[in-house]
Homo-oligomer: A and B are copies of this chain.
Amino acid sequence: MAGSIFGTLFRVSTFGESHGTALGAVIDGCPAGLPLSAEEIQAYLNRRKPGQSAFTTPRKEADTCEILSGVFEGKTLGTPIAVLVWNKDQHSADYQAIWDCYRPGHADFGFDRKFGFRDPRGGGRSSGRETIGRVIGGAIAAKLLAEFGIRAFAYVSAVGAIEAATFDEAICAENLLGMPDPEAAARAAAYLKEVMQARDSLGGTVSCRVTGMFPGLGEPVFDKLDAELAKAVMSIGAVKGVEFGDGFGVSTRRGSEDNDAFCPGQGGTEKKSNHAGGMLGGISDGSDILLRAAVKATPSIGSPQETVNKNGEPVTIEIQGRHDPTIMPRAAVVVESMVNLVLADLLLRNSVSTVEKLKRAAGRA
């Protein structure tokens, strides 16, 4: 259980190093009969692809995916779906100078202590390239959720301290930072250029909204909807915090301010507000899921940094490889993928929560 398998019923097993031969994912447990094509997965991969603007790494990877198994005549078979992406543009020589050093803010030191050694080329398994497997899985999960009218959308809600003040989903595709507020996007771009000139980097926040939810997803106690989402999102390399609904804001509010009143609504019970962000007691209540993740600045920066090498000797490094001055525009689809994976898994788990659902599934209700 070395940690590269995610999910309980809808399970994704990912593999691949940054400068290895290939990366990919195997999805076990995807229900049969779901229409699926490589093009649909590719559309998600393209949203995280490098080399798309001056704001991201110049590494050139088409990141074209192939489906190796699990799909027949355009539909999932119910058997494992293996999807592969070949690495093409490795510049491993860039890493030679810092091969033996522990880059600040990176996983190098921990990997060495845990595994005894590591693949230093491009960060090996701890590279952001690892997220290719997540996006493959998330794309397939999204297809399944769509059958139920559920849709997650993640976007860059802040770059550094510059926050989006307005929201228009369509705007996200029209600026290089993927923000839903064109004015904030412009200011963020200008600020980022400054930071890049200082050979520095920036983080921000990614927000995600899920619409079309129905009540009942999430399991009591440990596998709550928010618990599973928190793990999923926090497992993304650069994320340092996650919150739901009013999040940290709840800590200063009274119960009477924070409770969402129920009222009769279209198609049943509704909430008058959504401070809770879509779940109560860890189970979805049918309102939109709202979450926000804090993303740290890319740790690979060109300016000089103090560190030590494997032998514990102090050294100064200037990281030369190809890096993202900010990962924000590429991070949104990764957050969205993790949200999709959690929801697909909990959708399956919810289907076995009562005898009545079991009977309906078996056609014996």
Contacts and interface: CB of A to CB of B under 8 A. Distances in A.
25 contacts: A1-B9, A2-B220, A2-B353, A6-B221, A15-B80, A21-B68, A26-B26, A29-B352, A33-B115, A107-B280, A148-B358, A161-B251, A200-B256, A201-B255, A205-B248, A222-B232, A231-B231, A248-B294, A255-B300, A264-B313, A347-B362, A351-B352, A351-B358, A358-B361, A360-B360
Given A113-B285, A227-B230, 19 more contacts: A15-B26, A21-B68, A32-B114, A105-B258, A105-B276, A106-B280, A109-B280, A114-B283, A158-B252, A201-B255, A203-B252, A227-B231, A227-B235, A230-B233, A230-B234, A256-B305, A259-B301, A351-B351, A357-B361
Nearest to A35: B355
Contacts of A195: 254
* Dominant SS among interface residues on chain A: mixed
A245 B250 contact: no
Contacts of A268: 312
Interface string A279-319: 11111111000000011111111010111100011100000
A247 to B, nearest CB: 4
Given A15-B79, A78-B115, A221-B14, A110 B281 contact: yes
A125 B356 CA distance: 21
Interface in A64-98: 66-70, 72, 75, 77-82, 84
A197 B352 CA distance: 45
Nearest to A5: B28
Interface stretch (A43-51, A168-176, A211-219): A211-219
**How many protomers of this protein does the assembly include?**
4
A264 B309 CA distance: 9
Contacts of A355: 31-34, 144, 147
B235 A353 contact: no
A340 interface: no
A13 B26 contact: yes
A200 B15 CA distance: 43
A363 B360 contact: yes
A-B pairs with lowest CB-CB distance, top 7: A107-B281, A3-B219, A110-B283, A241-B243, A3-B223, A231-B231, A201-B255
A63 interface: no
Nearest to A143: B355
B308 A269 contact: yes
A348 to B, nearest CB: 4
Contact size class for A? 35 or more
Given A17-B69, A356-B116, A250 B294 contact: yes
A24 B221 contact: no
B235 A116 contact: no
A362 B224 CA distance: 19
A209 interface: no
B358 A117 contact: no
A217 to B, nearest CB: 8
B262 A235 contact: no
B13 A28 contact: yes
A21 B201 contact: no
Contacts of A160: 251-254
A279 B2 CA distance: 17
B251 A4 contact: no
A335 to B, nearest CB: 13
A21 B66 contact: yes
